[in-house]
Amino acid sequence: MPFYTNYVYTIFVKNITLTADENLIEQARAVARLQHKTLNIAFREWLSQYALQDGAAQEYEALMARLRYARSTGPYTRDEMNER
């Protein structure tokens, strides 16, 4: 009789409890089902994207801080903006 070994990789996760309208939850489950996902997987994907937004905002703020020395003398006329 052959033996098979399955490797399982786990990551540490934290459970949270959320409160939402029952109808919204059912609609979200239906959408997830259409995407061949569970609501849990869809939520984890959303959470990852949501968390990355803060990183993008921080990168933007850092860029603006680095470019703070630049000053515009505008507003410019259309002709001035199109000068080459």
Q: Residue 34, Cα to own-chain centre: how many angstroms? A: 21
Report the distance separating Cα 12 and Cα 31, nearest Å.
27
Report the distance separating Cα 79 and Cα 84, nearest Å.
10
Q: Encoding tokens for residue 18? A: 């959320």
pLDDT tens per residue across span 1-51:
666 666 666 677 788 899 999 999 999 999 999 999 999 999 999 988 888
Q: What is the pTM of this model?
A: 0.53
Report the distance separating Cα 41 and Cα 48, nearest Å.
11
Q: Provide the residue ranges of all domains of the chain, joining segments of one domain with +.
A: 22-71
**Nearest Cα to 67, choosing from 59, 76, 55?**
59
